[in-house]
Chain A
Amino acid sequence: MTTTAHGADASQDEAGDERHGPPHVQLQVQTPRGLWSMTEPEEAPRRPDYPISTKIQVVIDDARTVFKFVENDSKYTLFLGGEMLAPERTLASYHIAPDALLVLSVQGGNA
């Protein structure tokens, strides 16, 4: 668990910023363009560090931003193991553990 706010940059982390509110969880998200984690990619504008009340859709949107999946005519789905995560549910509802490895799958447009 961590106290880092969603969207916080590295300088805030290093400053030991302390916040209140729901517990946070740090994740890893594997995408076909690479891994998103607390350290990768180096130039990522945000880190996968969320209050457990965060909806899955937010994680999907943030992973898309980090890896520049800007196309809206595609299907983006988050998986945990073999389970497809519903975008409207929260991280807490899936009991997602710290450092859990999620997978963002990306479908192209239809032929």
Chain B
Amino acid sequence: MSVPVSLSLETVRCELAAATAYAAAAGLELDASELSENTLQFHVVFWNMQRERFTAEFDCRDYSMYPPTIEFVDATRTLRGTPALYPAGFHGMPCVCARYNRKAYTERGGPHGDWRLVDWQLPTGNGVAIDSLAMILSDLHSKISQSAGRLG
């Protein structure tokens, strides 16, 4: 099952209002200039506690039925998914191991066969549900800003 591209685009644009406000206040660089029906992607730059720069790509195909696929890329956005592009603290696959990342699910080669994609907005444990783009940015911002070094 998939979501019409136009619907995903509308949902992402709607949620980006809150995500952009959060990113601006947190000093994150959010670039949605390429967002379109052909490219359902945006990028966010995070910094760790040593002020190292990390660029995350959010592929929002089928959003919000399914979570975005989040991948760390290099500054030119050509190299992707290597441990050196990830902040320390994430899964060694490498992967942002969270319900809100489609890459974490077994269908994408991730470690979690125990999660269902349609349940991605459920909380993990007794924590807050990470159920929107702004919440995803907040979760990543919190983790990355308190990490040091790179995964590989």
Whether A and B are associated in the same complex: the answer reads yes
The answer to whether B27 touches A73 (Cβ under 8 A) is no
- Within 8 Å of chain A (Cβ to Cβ): is B42? no
Please report the number of residue pairs spanning A and B whose Cβ atoms sit closer than 8 angstroms. Answer: 89
Q: Establish whether residues A105 and B26, one from each chain, have CB atoms under 8 Å apart when the complex forms.
A: yes
**Interface set of A (CB-CB < 8 Å, partner B):** 30-35, 69, 71-75, 77, 79, 81-82, 84, 101, 103, 105-111
Q: Report the Cα distance A75→B104, complex, angstroms.
A: 21
B-side residues, CB < 8 A to A, are: 18, 21-22, 25-27, 47, 51, 97-99, 104, 112, 123-130, 132, 134-135, 137-139, 141-143, 145-146
* 25 sampled A-B residue pairs with Cβ under 8 A: A30-B21, A31-B22, A31-B138, A32-B18, A33-B135, A69-B128, A74-B128, A81-B27, A82-B145, A84-B145, A103-B22, A103-B141, A105-B138, A106-B128, A107-B128, A107-B139, A108-B98, A108-B99, A108-B124, A108-B127, A108-B128, A109-B127, A109-B128, A111-B97, A111-B124
